Structure 1
């Protein structure tokens, strides 16, 4: 019955995630293809419109000159013959016809440009739909996180409980990497295309008397570039590359440095014992635990200094996060965790329990807080 219940939980989660994955893939691919086609066509229309406007200006000038010439030869019958009048009249008529044709073409190109811009806006709405599907995936991940307690209880008597916990964490991190890739390939590329469009508009408007519109576009370009930088930050936070490439300690060292620069809270990082690589899932779990602990310090502790200490032992990794903040009553926090009202600490406890570890608090009002995480590296089976 335990295996059946676990299979049911995991199967439901996998079904929803697979369905969402294909929806995201189809929507994003369709949007990317259509958007690229529309942008290419829009650029072509804009270039044609530019050429046509130049022709309209040219024919307007020639037509005005032709009319002046026609008026001149029509008034002076002594100087000009009837043939001269006829030539002037035909030339004026020709310029008028050319001007009318160019104006019609200009009107058509402007209408086509407006239609393409509207279609691009509709494509943007499809992007919003894609983001909605991403939200569905997030709901599934929350569903998995909410069921971790049930998974832990079902596997409490199993020898490989830690292994399953690591697999669940790895699955979550793989989903994070997938979302990061999609944001990079989708939203970031879209915003880059918007910057390209604004640059094209700038070049066109620079020849016209639309200074205010040009300034607005310059401001829009700056905002979009800022958005691209923000997307890159989101991608980094979803999955720090240093964690995969260099390991836990270098990733934590960079995190602590970035944390100090961002929050202006003084930090200290110490490593005790022989540093070594851990299983990938365990490194990810420890990194997220430290991340959440530092986030709690920023939100609640009102601290000016925080210390991270990582101790490597033969069969244990000990992580201690200490701050000099306002502190709290430990019993009150334990009650809040049990009631599920403190989501950050509750998530930390769930991750630690999945790794067969322990989480301990030491805190006094006005005297700071110390959070200790004890994570076993090797687990012996009951038969041993």
Structure 2
């Protein structure tokens, strides 16, 4: 009769209190000692150091990982160039999506602390299926449940992101329709006030000074609104919004050693627009990439290439800035 490796037995003993009802939890308690011995007899046991990468995004591997000790960090890329990070604790599983569908990895997995991990490849699991079909079926059921709950959790994050985008749009409209209109009205009233013949030269000078400051504030506010949620993105689409954004950057005083030149080449964009969410995502990615090139790489030339076909939208961003 097979027995559990001592290091695994010790780890599982500390996991007895973990419930399979947890969204990320794997129900080890559902299996008998003999069944667990059969499962872990086909596993590879690994020790990972802090910050060591288990899986890279878009890898074509399909191994399944059980976290026995330590914590893992899941880094899921999002459109703005950043990541959504999640922590997995002992008693959880990772890699179930690629294990089940054999598609490339959709996230990067990094050891947040030193970890004890058990991994299973497809060949080993097929052997377990042949020898213990009931055990393999129960594992698949648990993996399907975990994947379903995780996807539901990501849907909630997406819904929150859409809500934030809606709030950006509302704020931009409020600033444009109310605050900027009020500033313009005050500027006009000050202009009319100058014709009051009872004012001395000092008062007229103060009016000119305040008027200029209001104009500068109005211009800066217009740039802020453009950054929060450009009206062109709603009214005219992605290319128009990007063109307007690039023009505002080249016309604006930017802290950069040299003159800034930005070019945009768009192919395949006709009258039909991309889905709203896709346009917004691409706009945010390009906007952030340009900001990074200017602020960190000190680029003087930035080239953006967008190509839309019936199947996909591809884009590249190149700059002559210094490497990171």
Which TM bucket (shorter chain)?
0.3 to 0.5
> Which structure dedicates a bigger proportion of its chain to helix?
1
> Which structure dedicates a bigger proportion of its chain to strand?
2
Q: Which has the larger radius of gyration?
A: 1
TM-score normalized by the length of structure 2:
0.46
